[in-house]
Amino acid sequence: MSELGSEGTQRLAGELEALRQELTVYLEAASAGSRPVDLDESIGRLSRMDALQQQSMTKANHDAAVLRLKRVEGALQRIEAGEYGECLRCEEPIGVQRLTVQPEAVLCIACQSERERD
C-alpha cells in the first residue's frame, strides 16, 4: 500500500470515479458528434481540408480519452485489490504528489522517467 493511507486512497478513488464519469460522457458526446467527411459534399477545397483536419484531431482526442479511461478503470481495480499506489515496475510506493496530479499513474516518477528515456 502506498504512503497515501486509507483516507487519501478513498479521496483519490472519488476523484477517479468522477474522472471516469467525465470521460464516459465525453466519449459518448464525441461519438454522437463525429461523422466522416463526405468527399462528395460540395464545399470548397480548403473547407474540406479543414474538415479532414478537424476529424483527425477529434479521432486523436477520442483515442487519448479511451486510453485514459482504461487507465482510470485499472486504477479503480487496483484500489479494490489493495494494490493502488504501488509502482508496477519497481513495486515501490508512487509518491502522493504524483497520484494527486495523476491518480491513474501506474509508475513512480523514477520508473516513468526511465521509461521515457528508453
What's the CA gap between 108 and 87, in Å, rounded?
Answer: 5
Q: pLDDT tens-digit profile of 15-67?
A: 999 999 999 999 988 876 555 555 555 566 667 778 778 888 888 999 999 99
Provide Rg for the chain, Cα atoms.
19
Q: Which amino acid is residue 70, in one-letter code? A: K
Q: Mean pLDDT over residues 77-95, rounded? A: 94
Query: Residue 74 pLDDT more than 60?
Result: yes
Helix 45-81 vs helix 5-33: angle between axes, to the nearest 10 degrees? 150
Note whether 37 and 51 are within 8 A (CB).
yes
Q: Mean pLDDT over residues 92-108, rounded? A: 95
How many angstroms from the chain centroid is the CA of residue 62?
10
Task: Give the global pTM.
Answer: 0.78
